[in-house]
Structure 1
Amino acid sequence: MNKATIVGSINLDTNLRVHRMVKPGETIHGKEHYTAAGGKGANQAVATARAGSKTRFIGAVGNDGPGEQMLDLLKEEKIDVSGIEIIQNEPTGQAFIPIDDNGENSIMFYAGANYAFGTEEVAKNSSLIETNDFVIAQLETPIEATIKAFEIARSKNVKTILNPAPGESDLPEKLLKLTDMIIPNETEAETITGIEVNDETSAKKAAAKLHELGVEAVIITFGAKGAFYDFNGYSELVPAFKVKAVDTTAAGDTFIGYMIATLEKDFSNLREAILHGNKASSATVQRFGAQPSIPYKNEII
């Protein structure tokens, strides 16, 4: 059983189902409204735990009702929440997500407490990183905190995995040199490398650029097309499973969590791990919500 620590965001998601996305200045009717636990970090932690890995979390919530609710839900998943700070003067993070009839979404994110923890909080929770196989981070929390977590991981031979979402064009070189594996989608890969990514050929060019920046293994996710990987001289687009998507929220997070649960530390079974992630995310997109849509291990088996 793999052991993983997630350094990342925790949000309360407010979801609104609509027939189509709204245009600027337009008002339309929604057809369903609901809230759910979310945040890319928390989603990935839940996916990792449901996939069967021992999971720990470093992050922050506000001293409020949503924060208490999010902590309770993570505890229910048997996730170690001892590294989650409760911030007194910041609200728990929030995300607002419209989802159209094609299952596509857009996300507006208010960081709140997610941006109120940093290197000190990571350092004092170093024991949650040092004894693990993997540490996983995204870009919904301070980059300085992620760099600190990756420095701790590297000092103890723990593999570092970066999901650079939301995409940023000026990622610190220091962070990329500390990253063993990077997992952007095609848009994020273009944002980081400046290379338009729309097929295997362009994905390979972007991967080459990321290797030059110091990253050992590259996975670029292509949504319904699957996931491209480039590692140790091998590259391939591993196809996704074909299903009818109703909500793509948390699909990428599910992919990462389930892939990590299967992955060997030397990445020697990378293609097999990607297939496992693809299978799990194909279940996620057939359900609504972020964490409520993430499947359990027995469903994937």
Structure 2
Amino acid sequence: MSKETHQGRVVVVGSINTDLVAQTTHLPFPGETLGSVRFSQAGGGKGANQAIAAARFGALVAMVGRVGDDENGGQRLDDLNSEGIDCSGITVTREQPTGLALITVSDGGQNTVVVVDGSNGELKPVDVWCQETLFSDSDVVVCQLETPRETAYASLKLARHLGKITILNPAPAIDPLPPEWLSLTDYLVVNEVEALILSDIPFASESDMGLAARQLQRQGAGNVIVTLGARGAYLLQEGGHGRHFSAPRVEAVDTTAAGDTFIGVLAAQLASRQTIEKSIERGQRAAAISVTRHGGQTSIPTRDEVDD
């Protein structure tokens, strides 16, 4: 990874998918068959989305992941290369096809997502250990849970060993994480559902957000950020100071990749040594722009658009 002057260096370890998106009047009920008013196919996956968001915000980004030896895999590599992302940490496997995400988006902008792991499930800890140079040259390392858990854990361990800032987006969240995971996490970014699963504290008010965040800190996390969609975000800093950030008011048409946009911009900002407050505010502005557009990666704004 080049050491020329830039906004900051980010490594993203995560999923690379092809998104199959159906636009419908409403989200289907169990057993209901709906017709789609619009269909699209494009690049996706939490890892790839976050990498692209960070790159569009000016960071120098490298990605560690796996794609299949198929047409979708080739297209996804082309997508990432076109964003200037270093793909030397991405390997190609013949064992599984490139991952897929089946997404339904309602007219109100809400979505449901079914993920088919495919090649993402083949990303192993050894694939991380082989990229120590990428990690060493980075400022921030970002992980999610759309790849095997042991791979995300290996990424956090290597990043912490090398003294890098770590961001963990534990999505999808299935059950509480071991304390040793959270102790390796500088910034834990969760939505309300993930916060509930990880902390076992349901949300009824803003004070409950603080309780959930404090529980996650007691389990070992450093700074905890709870994203709340149109209601903004809540930050509990490592020193115990809590703050709510209001979200920009927009009319949402598609929330796909909004959370990934926030995390990618957050990573880019932290990599360029911005304050956490400024990083969150810019991440929120970027996410607000993204929900006014259809699609996943196509909705992610550039830094110029956010700063306009």
Q: Which residue of 1 aligns with 2:229?
A: 223
Q: Distance in 1 between matches of 2:153 and 2:59?
A: 23
Q: Distance in 2 between matches of 1:263 and 1:89?
A: 36
Residues 264 and 50 of structure 1: is their aligned pair in 2 closer, same or farther, counting only changes over 3 Å? closer
Contact in 2 for aligned 1:187/1:197 (Cα 8 Å):
no
Out of 166-175 and 238-247, give the one that drifted further. Answer: 166-175
Contact in 2 for aligned 1:57/1:80 (Cα 8 Å):
yes
Contact in 1 for aligned 2:142/2:267 (Cα 8 Å):
no
Which amino acid in the other structure matches residue 233 of structure 1?
G
Q: Distance in 2 between matches of 1:18 and 1:166?
A: 24
Which amino acid in the other structure matches residue 119 of structure 1?
P
Q: Which residue of 2 aligns with 1:86?
A: 92
**1:117 shift after superposition:** 1.5
**1:227 shift after superposition:** 0.7
Q: Distance in 1 between matches of 2:267 and 2:212?
A: 22
Q: How large is the Cα RMSD of the aligned pairs?
A: 1.2
Residues 279 and 98 of structure 1: is their aligned pair in 2 closer, same or farther, counting only changes over 3 Å? same
Contact in 2 for aligned 1:51/1:258 (Cα 8 Å):
yes
* 2:209 aligned residue (203, 207, 212): 203
Residues 198 and 61 of structure 1: is their aligned pair in 2 closer, same or farther, counting only changes over 3 Å? farther
Determine whether 1:194 maps to 2:200: yes
Q: Which residue of 1 aligns with 2:4?
A: none
* 2:243 aligned residue (225, 228, 236): 236
Cα deviation code 1:70-112 (max 9, x no counterpart): 0000000000000001011100000000100100000000000
Determine whether 1:258 maps to 2:258: no
Q: Which residue of 2 aligns with 1:166?
A: 172
Q: Distance in 2 between matches of 1:28 and 1:210?
A: 40
Which amino acid in the other structure matches residue 168 of structure 1?
I
Which amino acid in the other structure matches residue 70 of structure 2?
D
**1:264 shift after superposition:** 6.0
Q: Distance in 2 between matches of 1:264 and 1:73?
A: 23
TM-score, length-normalised on structure 2?
0.95
**1:160 shift after superposition:** 0.9
Determine whether 1:102 maps to 2:108: yes
Contact in 1 for aligned 2:65/2:120 (Cα 8 Å):
yes
Q: Distance in 1 between matches of 2:196 and 2:77?
A: 35
Three-state SS of the structure 1 residue aligned to 2:10 is: strand
Matches of residues 1-301 of structure 1 in structure 2 within 5 Å?
1-231=7-237, 232-263=239-270, 269-301=275-307
Q: Distance in 2 between matches of 1:174 and 1:128?
A: 23
**1:136 shift after superposition:** 0.3
- Structure 2's unaligned 5+ residue stretches are 1-6
Aligned length: 300
**1:173 shift after superposition:** 2.5
Q: Distance in 1 between matches of 2:179 and 2:284?
A: 30
**1:176 shift after superposition:** 1.4
Three-state SS of the structure 2 residue aligned to 1:151 is: helix
Which amino acid in the other structure matches residue 111 of structure 1?
D
Contact in 2 for aligned 1:53/1:261 (Cα 8 Å):
yes
Q: Which residue of 1 aligns with 2:3?
A: none
Contact in 2 for aligned 1:126/1:149 (Cα 8 Å):
no
Residues 265 and 151 of structure 1: is their aligned pair in 2 closer, same or farther, counting only changes over 3 Å? farther
Q: Distance in 2 between matches of 1:264 and 1:83?
A: 19
Out of 19-28 and 111-120, give the one that drifted further. Answer: 19-28
Any runs of at least 4 consecutive aligned residues in structure 1 with deviations exceeding 6 A, and if so which? Answer: none
Three-state SS of the structure 1 residue aligned to 2:225 is: strand
Residues 198 and 70 of structure 1: is their aligned pair in 2 closer, same or farther, counting only changes over 3 Å? farther
**1:132 shift after superposition:** 1.0
Cα deviation code 1:97-148 (max 9, x no counterpart): 0100100000000000001021111111111112211100001001111111
